[in-house]
Amino acid sequence: MENKIILIDKPSGWTSFDVVAKIRGIRRAAFKAQGVQPTKRQLKVGHAGTLDPFATGLLVILTGDSTKRADEFLKLDKVYEATITLGKTSTTGDPEGELTDVNTTQPTREEIERTLEQFRGEITQRPPIFSAIKINGQRAYKLARAGKEVEIPERKVAIRSLEIIDYSYPEFKIRTHVASGTYIRSLAVDIGEVLGTGAYCSELRRTSISNWRIEDAVEINKLL
């Protein structure tokens, strides 16, 4: 596992750091089993693009000298499958936040399709305050959890494709190919605002990062 790129299928409930820490422990044990005291460089483990704790899917883990390549992965396009729940909003844009009922309006599939047209191509998006974006040197989510006011400026992102793959009110499932820096939680919230129903991202799965595919990833328990 030294200087390797490892594709992990992250389970829900794990943070990206949880996966990094677990693999670092596996590496340490593997070296010691060979009677080798590992160096800090040999135990170096990082990830190339975080996934929210509630999300599942492809997490690229870098070990040893391969950690120097992290920036290459951060700039790559990604594909996600997401379930968007209508009729409620969430303080975090996902199921971990405080949910608030908005209304019980049931849009048709055609109305959702027309709404999605507004979100294809280059759009302006405001990242969620519960994110790892730094504000004056501090992570936005840490400021938000401390009850401090967080203002993140809007920015342009690119959505290459966006399609509905299933709809049964109050949930519809999408598949979307996006450029780096796009937040699917923000996309869900914005779609809900346009529909007038409110919405949040209740499930999220990353299926690819450029040419890296979830089919080639290993579940963390199998790696153990």
Enzyme catalytic residues: 52
Which residues have CB under 8 Å from 59's CB, separation 6+? 7, 8, 9, 10, 16, 19, 47, 49, 51, 206, 217
Length of the chain: 224
What proportions of the chain, in percent to the nearest 5, are helix, strand and coil? 30, 35, 35
- Contact 159/121 with Cβ under 8 angstroms? yes
Residues 6+ apart with CB under 8 A from 91: 97, 98, 130
* Terminal Cα-to-Cα distance of the chain (whole angstroms): 13
Q: Which residues pair with 175 in a beta bridge?
A: 81, 163
Helix (H, G, I), strand (E, B) or coil at 163: strand
- CB atoms under 10 Å from CB of 81, counted, come to 19
| Tokens matching residue 78 | 């990604």
